[in-house]
Structure 1
Amino acid sequence: MAPLSQYINNWTLTPPNFTVNFPTQASPFTQDFCLTPNGVVEDLEVAVIPLQQARPGFYTDYKVVINNKGNQTASGSVTLDFEEDFMTLISTNPNAGNTPSNQLSWSFSNLQPFQMEEYEFTMMLNTPTHPTNPLNFGDILIFTGIVTGTGSDITPADNTMVLDQIAVNSYDPNDKICLEGETIDPADIGEYVHYMIRFENIGTASAVNVVIKDEINLAQFDISTLAPISSSHEYYTNIKDGNLVEFVFEDINLDFNDATNDGYVLFKIKTINTLVAGDTFDNTAEIFFDFNFPIITNTETVTVMSTASVGESTDSSIKVYPNPAKSFINLSTSNSLESVTIMDINGRTLSQTNFTGNSTDQSVSIENLSSGIYFVTIQSDLGQKVEKLMVE
């Protein structure tokens, strides 16, 4: 046996491995290792974690976690950018700098190898009736965390993390979300995505043990890259049968009172590098409270598609309204409309309508669409615009 870590190559282990024979040797068996740095390596990582769903009009708690994956003590700073038009800062812990007003900042020093540091903050989200910046179901809130050290980081890609959080109404307290959102860019194929599994004891007695089982689809993910990042309580991880991951919260004694009855685990894993634009990858988890039947989370589906153009345009005069919509959408532009294409979040084309003449205004029926999120591409004789559409 040998220790397994995503950054073990930064160290020389002595001994490199060991052998233990059960039941000849007593259980549990403890083996100490001496870790010697391989050169000087700075390697910091940041994660932005939503501790609750984003419910318009409510307080929502968040956490920024930095991790020293290098082999030297680290010092530096971490910043968190947020959309101040759609939320109000309530508190930070520890106290954060707030200049500019849409950014939080903290400094850290002497962070030891393998050590993590956490920073918490609370936001009050706007209501749907906010007079200037309403926050509605389906809107996406963007948070950007950046950690900066004092040297040259060997993996700068994980010095930045963008959280896309979708605003919801009522929600299931036992759920699974991909923190990158419902889409990733083709350029991010083969890179890490972050999954958060939340659980809540809504029974009438404390849960002694909680076990989360997550079957990883090896046709979509590289199981060798799975790395736990953060959690609400102490736990350990098992991988069985090659792709069944277990997060075991032993003796958690999770309360059933509303203020103290929830928890989470956050991990990251790389998608396989053979995915292409239009592909989807999905994941579902089972949550076991003691010996009860499991609670099955939602299936979190992410689509590989270019989202760089969403909200941007080569014809800025194009407008789509109402949004959210129920039975129809209106299209308007200063130029001649040529076509409109509606796709679902899996990248499948659901409808395409071509327009003739020089019309600058059109109405399109969406009565056949189920409630959910769609992408609408509007083409004019000048250019195009891609909009995210929420259907109620």
Structure 2
Amino acid sequence: MKRKITISIIAILFFAINSFSQNFINAYTNRTAGSTSGSIDRIVTDNMKNVINATMFSGTIVVGGVSYPSNGVLSAMIIKRDDNDSILWSKSLGCGKVVILGGLYTDNQNNIYATGYFGDSLIATNLDCAPFPISNSSGYKSFIIKYSPNGTVLWSNSINIETGNANSNGDLFRITGNGTNRIVVSSFLYHVAPQTIGTSVLDPADGNLFFAEIDNNGIWQYATVFGGTSMHLSLSLAMAANNDLFISGEFKGNLNLGAAGILSTLTSSPQDFVCKANPAGSFVWGMMLESSSWWRTEVLAKNNNVLLFGCFGGSLTLGGTTLTSGTYTTYLTEIDNSGSFLWAKKYGNYETQFYTATRNNNHLFFTGLTSSSFSSNQFDTLNLTYATSLPAANTYSAICYILETDLNGNPLKGACYSLNFPTLNTESMACTDSKTYLTGNALGIAAFGGYVITSVPINSSNYVAVFTDSANIVSGQTYYDFNSNNIFDAGDVNCNTKLTLTKSGNAITTIVNGPYQVGVGTGTYTSTIADAPLYYNYSPSSYTSAFSTLTNQIDSLNDFAFQPITGQNDLVVDLVLGSLRPGFSGNAYATVTNVGTTAKSGSMNVTINHPDITIATSTPAATSIVGNVATLSYNLNPTQHITYLLEYDVSVTAILSSLVIGSASAPDGTDLTPINNFDTIHTVITGSYDPNSKEVYPRGNIAPQFITDGSALEYTIHFQNTGNDTAFTVVLTDTISNKLNLSTFQLVSSSHPVIVNFYENEVWFRFNNINLVDSTTNEPFSHGFVKYKITPKNNCALGDEIKNTAYIFFDFNTAIITNTAITLIANPSGVDEIDRNKNSSVFPNPVNGKFTTVKSKNPISSIEIYDAYGRKLQTINANKAFEIKVATDKLSSGVYFVKIYSGDGVYSEKVVVE
């Protein structure tokens, strides 16, 4: 049974409600029992769709099963997750006293930069960012740390900023950059001696706030002070495409911007300001707005212009536009590079105090505080009704909004969430192309649609909430229901399969592996399983989800339980060969998978047939290795598999282009589809080899008959860590050709556990926590691969080329681009000769007469004929002949498989009888 909506709540509460609209698809906290988190929270994303969040904590916090005790009164925690919310790594940052982390930033290479301050007014401290710790005598230092994508500290640097008691405002510590070699940070500055920062002398006598540029190698370039006597409440930094720097904030008193003039507040209230500095750090222009955002303003770069967010009450004139509001209302304006206002908009008629903002390539997202005193609010052209964004049970005292607009500020959609205190409870946002992340402090309770986070009464909790760009959500779970009780309980496991959602004849297909969420629009959608695992019935056969409007609803509990048909025996064998170079070693991967429903045990034999190749080692250990033959054992429950890594040696005398035949087999007399109990690879000795490559099988050309038969191309992506350190994460991205049917994608095997995601026409393979050693440390274990099958589209025509290239990211660094695997659709030559890279052939094929001829380069001992269901129909004794005629006149039209036993191995061919 399903209903709209029941959600398993992340964190502490679990409850069920009937129906409401929202865009939130997850929320979680890093606080654990006995700890406090959430005093200052920051979040960023990188180019690989990963999300990095930071929070302050005291006590002991547990992340991914690892305990982190606070090193001092207050420590910082940085956590990196992938697009599936799986933890990739976590790091704590302490000094024995106080650490405040105020800013996070990622560059184009997915490196992570963190800035803030640490220390104590009385004792010496040491920031524990090994291998580049920062020591400090009494007082406080601002810091910047660069982390590699895998969390290794690459360098750190610091500036003395205070000898007495520190200003605790983390909003003054900001960071931005141009994605490559320019990074700018900001900080307060009090009671320290003048110090040289790059080409500048930084002196608190000139002012108590500054920004400084550092390059990507950790070398300071300059520092610029905001002069004057003023109190600063917060800052925001954004770097334009031309490397100009935009800065906004709130201040009281006088703000000296050098050649750009002096700004002076008109009242005792803080005033908003915005200014621009050139790439050398000199102020170019600045202006004060007749508004007081109190808590925060925000700047985001838009090419060479800047978008400025804040809030105001009364009236506010921005260029030629005057905005009016009776209470605090959010404003957004675009300012060009020379300081002229281009347009301005307000959002909300009643109490929409601005919090924070972010953007992706096409959209803006921003949040703020509104009020539970009102049932709705007008956000420019969008009326946001709170009741349709929050269940009544989750409407706490502080109602917040999140709004999505285009880059010109025109509203697209919005939603509400609620907390039980109003003061800047959302501190930071970040987004990818499909998700937006919010983080902040839940002091007591926070609700994001149906996702609720609570904290114990005396402790605060940080939160991360995930907002989706999709209007409606269909969610559920796919799992192997081994005890057939339609409940996911002990012993059951997630099922990796493909889910198809169909609306009015149009279908979308996605890979799911257990819990899933699919974004959809309006209309009625039918959810079905695209490729149910063999020998399992599933229940139910389909679900229907109806969405009348874009009201941001979740239709949940669309669960599919795959229940075993008893007594089904079926093993699948797969073999992958690596490099075959004279005088070098190579790796083979042999995998046997139990796709049946009974436990199976036995032996798999692997042969690499070439006179100059011997198998050296196996991991796990082989039962036996004799020359080029390895015997490997398996003991598998249903759905389990085992992969053996075999290292082989190629003699220096091996002849280039000589044929190598690799075969793996796990014979089983009870197997229902014996044709897939063996796998054979035909390849050749090569003089050179790229360890990061992509290959396709069949190699070369395919005939139009290949398309009409519905045959699949098999792609293998090989990768090797040739760096000088362990790779903790490997991601492969593969843009699928528009001539391939993505809905037919099937993962065949991989060297390590892999997560597969679809992003439109891209397939991403994520190897999280792979810990792939470098090639100098352990060459055999520095390799990996993934193999998949996919079928060409039926409209592929003669002369079409199917091209595929993969991109390999080691720890999210610059991509290694593989070769392009090319398949040409061409008419067969019509000759009946064996391909030089194959050991056997069948001709004619397709067959429309009474006979077809099987040929082999080696004497054939026997031939077996199987139908498409794997049933053996006939055995023919060939008496060591090199070719033999096979009668087909009694075979009905269809696809058959010929299993050829010869002196050097077992091979298979597919035959089509017309």
- Report the TM-score when normalising by structure 1: 0.62
Measured in 1, the distance between the counterparts of 2:783 and 2:649 equals 20
Q: Name the aligned partner's letter for residue 680 of structure 2.
A: V
The alpha carbon displacement at 1:287 in A equals 1.6
The alpha carbon displacement at 1:226 in A equals 1.9
Secondary structure, aligned partner of 2:819? coil
Residue 565 of structure 2: aligned partner? 38
Pairing partner for 2:742 from 223, 233, 236: 223
Q: Does the alignment pair 1:11 with 2:536?
A: yes
Measured in 2, the distance between the counterparts of 1:252 and 1:153 equals 34
Residue 239 of structure 1: aligned partner? 758
Question: CA separation of 1:148/1:248 partners in 2, compared to 1, >3 Å: closer, same or farther?
Answer: same
CA contact (8 A) 1:55 1:167 kept: yes
Q: Does the alignment pair 1:49 with 2:576?
A: yes
Measured in 2, the distance between the counterparts of 1:276 and 1:253 equals 43
Measured in 1, the distance between the counterparts of 2:793 and 2:642 equals 30
Q: Name the aligned partner's letter for residue 44 of structure 1.
A: L
Measured in 2, the distance between the counterparts of 1:193 and 1:171 equals 22
Question: CA separation of 1:97/1:179 partners in 2, compared to 1, >3 Å: closer, same or farther?
Answer: farther
Measured in 1, the distance between the counterparts of 2:762 and 2:671 equals 36
Residue 122 of structure 1: aligned partner? 647
Alignment of 1:279-298 (within 5 A): 280-298=801-819
Secondary structure, aligned partner of 1:8? coil
Residue 678 of structure 2: aligned partner? 160
Question: CA separation of 1:191/1:82 partners in 2, compared to 1, >3 Å: closer, same or farther?
Answer: same
The alpha carbon displacement at 1:66 in A equals 0.8
The alpha carbon displacement at 1:158 in A equals 2.5
Deviations 1:310-348 (A, max 9, x none): 359xxxxxxxxxxxxxxxxxxxxxxxxxxxxxxxxxxxx
The alpha carbon displacement at 1:239 in A equals 1.0
Question: CA separation of 1:118/1:175 partners in 2, compared to 1, >3 Å: closer, same or farther?
Answer: same
Residue 320 of structure 1: aligned partner? none
Deviations 1:244-297 (A, max 9, x none): 111012344545463254432222333446668876533211122345332211
CA contact (8 A) 2:566 2:598 kept: no
Identity %: 28
Higher strand share: 2
Question: CA separation of 1:81/1:203 partners in 2, compared to 1, >3 Å: closer, same or farther?
Answer: closer
Pairing partner for 2:688 from 160, 167, 170: 170
The alpha carbon displacement at 1:49 in A equals 1.3
Measured in 2, the distance between the counterparts of 1:42 and 1:274 equals 37
CA contact (8 A) 1:286 1:295 kept: yes
Measured in 1, the distance between the counterparts of 2:625 and 2:722 equals 37
Q: Does the alignment pair 1:79 with 2:605?
A: yes
Pairing partner for 1:69 from 592, 595, 599: 595
Question: CA separation of 1:294/1:114 partners in 2, compared to 1, >3 Å: closer, same or farther?
Answer: same
Measured in 2, the distance between the counterparts of 1:273 and 1:145 equals 32
After superposing the two structures, state which structure 1 stretch, 58-67 or 268-277, moved more: 268-277
CA contact (8 A) 1:80 1:103 kept: yes
Measured in 1, the distance between the counterparts of 2:650 and 2:587 equals 10
CA contact (8 A) 1:163 1:180 kept: no
Measured in 2, the distance between the counterparts of 1:161 and 1:248 equals 26
Measured in 2, the distance between the counterparts of 1:278 and 1:81 equals 37
Residue 197 of structure 1: aligned partner? 717
Measured in 2, the distance between the counterparts of 1:62 and 1:228 equals 18
The alpha carbon displacement at 1:126 in A equals 2.8
Measured in 1, the distance between the counterparts of 2:751 and 2:562 equals 28
The alpha carbon displacement at 1:237 in A equals 0.5
Question: CA separation of 1:53/1:268 partners in 2, compared to 1, >3 Å: closer, same or farther?
Answer: same
Measured in 2, the distance between the counterparts of 1:98 and 1:212 equals 33
Pairing partner for 2:821 from 294, 300, 320: 300
The alpha carbon displacement at 1:65 in A equals 0.6
Residue 322 of structure 1: aligned partner? none
Secondary structure, aligned partner of 1:297? strand
The alpha carbon displacement at 1:32 in A equals 8.3
Residue 901 of structure 2: aligned partner? none
Pairing partner for 1:212 from 732, 745, 749: 732
Secondary structure, aligned partner of 2:676? helix
Deviations 1:198-247 (A, max 9, x none): 2234445654533211111242x332232223333332110121x31110
Question: CA separation of 1:167/1:271 partners in 2, compared to 1, >3 Å: closer, same or farther?
Answer: farther
Measured in 1, the distance between the counterparts of 2:600 and 2:704 equals 33
Alignment gaps of 5+ in structure 2: 1-475, 479-496, 499-530, 546-551, 838-914
Residue 309 of structure 1: aligned partner? 834
Measured in 2, the distance between the counterparts of 1:166 and 1:227 equals 27
The alpha carbon displacement at 1:116 in A equals 0.6
CA contact (8 A) 1:165 1:179 kept: no
The alpha carbon displacement at 1:80 in A equals 2.6
- Report the TM-score when normalising by structure 2: 0.29
Q: Figure out how many residues of one structure are paired with residues of the other and give that number.
A: 296
